[in-house]
Amino acid sequence: MPAACGEALDDAPGLLVLNNDVGRSSLFSRGYEFDYLYFDGLPAPVSSIYGTQPDVAIVDHVEILKGPSGLFIGTGEPAGSINMRLKQARPEFGGAFTSQLDSNGHARVEADVTSALNESGTLRGRAVVAYGDGDGFVDKQ
């Protein structure tokens, strides 16, 4: 499971992902850098220079619209729009646990649990926890 938005988009056709460091990437399409990411349709400014890309542990799936994003949503660059659909709580009990370790010594664990909180299933909850620590591929010496 990818940890950062850039890792999730590595294989998307027509997108260029430049990895700056662990969790920090520049996202390009059509020669332009994405300046906004959307979470369930709500814009969130993103800056690969000063900030980090969001952790995708809370994301169910990613929707990509290429082209002038102003035609789609009203703000942004000509690169397009990336909408991240967040995980929703489900009425049935379910969960997942993943762990990974890479060759740079970076370790990560994720836990995801969802269930109905009342008998009729009208009240639902979901908890997603992720933790990562270790060295990245950039030598900071």
User: How do residues 88-140 score in pLDDT, each as one tens digit?
Assistant: 999 999 999 999 888 877 888 999 999 999 988 899 999 999 998 877 666 66
pTM over cut 0.75: no
Query: Measuring CA to CA, how many Å separate 62 from each of 6, 50, 117?
Result: 11, 23, 27
DSSP 51: S
Tell me the domains of the chain and their CATH numbers.
Answer: 5-86 (2.170.130.10), 94-133 (no CATH)
Residues 6+ apart with CB under 8 A from 102: 134
Q: What is the pLDDT of residues 31-90, one digit of tens each?
A: 888 878 888 888 887 765 555 567 788 888 888 887 776 566 666 668 888 888 999 999
Could you report how far apart the first and last alpha carbons of the chain are, in Å?
29
